[in-house]
């Protein structure tokens, strides 16, 4: 069972603290006990919103799914809205579960 938390970060660029929601599946595992990161110049650190199940910059190994730091040149635009959001708790072949997989309240919602 996932638990939703609110996390507050200090903000940047003259903005005050920024609060957003995160999802937690577990307090165990590599994704919950990471080192301090020093992000190299010209790159950014990408963090997923589903903390325990996001392939994001926390993972920097040899696995092809490890994202690592993302070069600034790969940033091509600003996200403005959520197009599609699914839970993906069931295998894709279980088509009868598809309507329950969609996070209907997030579809086409704006991103602040």
Per-residue pLDDT of the chain (112 residues; tens, 9 = 90+): 677 888 887 776 677 888 888 777 777 777 777 778 889 999 999 887 666 777 788 888 788 778 889 999 998 888 888 888 888 788 889 999 988 888 888 888 888 7
Tokens of residue 87, six digits: 């839970």
Rg (CA), the chain: 16
For the chain, give every domain's residue range.
3-76, 78-112
Q: DSSP of 52-76, one letter per residue? A: GG---TT--SSSTT----EEGGG--
């Amino acid at each position: 069972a996932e638990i939703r938390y609110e996390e507050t970060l200090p903000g940047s660029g003259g903005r005050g603290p920024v609060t957003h929601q995160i999802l937690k599946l577990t307090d165990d595992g590599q994704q919950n006990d990471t080192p301090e990161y020093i992000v190299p110049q010209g790159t950014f650190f990408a963090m997923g919103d589903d903390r325990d199940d996001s392939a994001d910059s926390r993972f920097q190994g040899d696995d092809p799914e490890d994202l690592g730091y993302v070069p600034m040149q790969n940033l091509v635009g600003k996200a403005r809205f959520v197009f599609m959001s699914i839970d993906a708790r069931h295998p894709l072949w279980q088509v009868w579960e598809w309507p329950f997989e969609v996070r209907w309240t997030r579809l086409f919602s704006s991103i602040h």
